[in-house]
Amino acid sequence: MKTDQQLKDLVKEKYSEIAEQSLEQNASSCCGATCGCSTIDASIMAESYSDLKGYHADADLGLGCGLPTEFALIKEGDTVIDLGSGAGNDAFIARAIAGAEGKVIGIDMTEKMIEKAKVNAAKLGYKNVDFRLGDVEDLPVASKVADVIVSNCVLNLVPNKAKAFEEAFRVLKPGGHFSVSDIVLEGELPENLKKVAEMYAGCISGAIQKEEYLRIVKEAGFTAITLQKERVISIPEEILKNYLTETEVTAFLQSKSKIVSINLYAERAAEEKKSCCGPACCN
């Protein structure tokens, strides 16, 4: 069993490789450069961004599992934080909605991703998009800063998901909300699939049960928790056969277990006004 730090190092290594590749190269494997399945013709996880305002092809590495900005209720002038911002894809979409008066902060723990995102932002001339190197479990952001948080297929990679959502709660303003796309499970993965490091970096074996995921979000203090969208992810047999025996593949495909892409919304409740505490505060 790998330690939390070993898992983080694995993700950094794999996503550093991805940062140097194009969308076409990443889309030729099951979930980016992480899976070694170049026989697959298209990305299994990602959804197309190409019709969304603010889309910038150089920032799209095909690494997502949904379109969190589509459901994020971002308003003009909002401050938006993108957790695991990669090359800037979701951050630039968010910026297109928040406008020139808004602000977008992208956070990623992979140096090469931050470098690539900053180059992309400079090309576009954006002055209100800030990319910061940092850990989702310890965000380099002050408390109560964000109106909205988005994240795309990142939190499943975080070993301590409870700490990640506690940090998301901390940096949201009271009355703020998040909309994240992520991978969860319904039923169990085969043990051999769970143990494969490449499948962890590819967003599969780092995923947890959907009910546990929702529980963690609630325990972090969030309210109005809503599943906005769900989509079953099917892993082709030729990929599964890289990690499982024929018998294990058949058993998994015949089971009711599912790998599911979800879009999840939740709010940090607005703080109640303090009641009058005596003559001093009622003047």
CATH code for position 73: 3.40.50.150
As given in the structure block, the two tokens for residue 266 are 């939740």
- State the Cα–Cα distance between residues 281 and 57, nearest whole angstrom: 55
- State the Cα–Cα distance between residues 150 and 179, nearest whole angstrom: 5
pLDDT of res. 97: 96
Burial 118-132 (b: 16+ CB within 10 A, else e): bebbeebebeebbbe
Q: What is the mean pLDDT of residues 67-75?
A: 93
Residue 81 lies in a domain: yes
pLDDT of res. 103: 98
Q: What is the domain range of residue 254?
A: 4-268
Q: What is the mean pLDDT of residues 90-110?
A: 96
Q: What is the mean pLDDT of residues 237-249?
A: 87
- The total of structural domains in the chain comes to 1
Closest CA to 260 of 222, 215, 228: 228
pTM of the model: 0.85
pLDDT of res. 5: 79
- State the Cα–Cα distance between residues 195 and 193, nearest whole angstrom: 5
Residue 282 lies in a domain: no
C-alpha dist (Å) from residue 224 to 46, 134, 217, 270: 26, 28, 11, 12
* Contact by Cβ (8 Å): 186, 212: no
Residue 273 lies in a domain: no
Residue 278 lies in a domain: no
pLDDT of res. 139: 97
Sign of CA dihedral 153, 157, 163, 167: negative
Q: Is residue 146 over pLDDT 60?
A: yes
pLDDT tens per residue, range 13-44? 777 776 666 555 555 444 443 444 333 233 56
In the beta sheet, which residues pair with residue 182? 262
Residue 283 lies in a domain: no
In the beta sheet, which residues pair with residue 180? 151, 264
* Contact by Cβ (8 Å): 132, 110: no
**Least confident segment among 57-71, 103-117, 196-210, 214-228:** 196-210
**Least confident segment among 53-62, 205-214, 220-229, 270-279:** 270-279
Q: How many CA atoms lie within 13 A of 132 on its CB side?
A: 17
Higher pLDDT, 94 or 61: 94
Instruction: Please report where in the chains the tokens 């576009």 appear, as a residue.
Output: 124
Residue 279 lies in a domain: no
Angle at 252 between CA 34 and CA 14, to 5 degrees: 10
- State the Cα–Cα distance between residues 21 and 44, nearest whole angstrom: 17
- State the Cα–Cα distance between residues 59 and 137, nearest whole angstrom: 24
**Least confident segment among 28-42, 88-102, 119-133:** 28-42
User: Any residues with CB less than 8 A from the CB of 96 and at least 6 apart, and which?
Assistant: 52, 53, 54
- State the Cα–Cα distance between residues 75 and 221, nearest whole angstrom: 23
* Contact by Cβ (8 Å): 135, 85: no
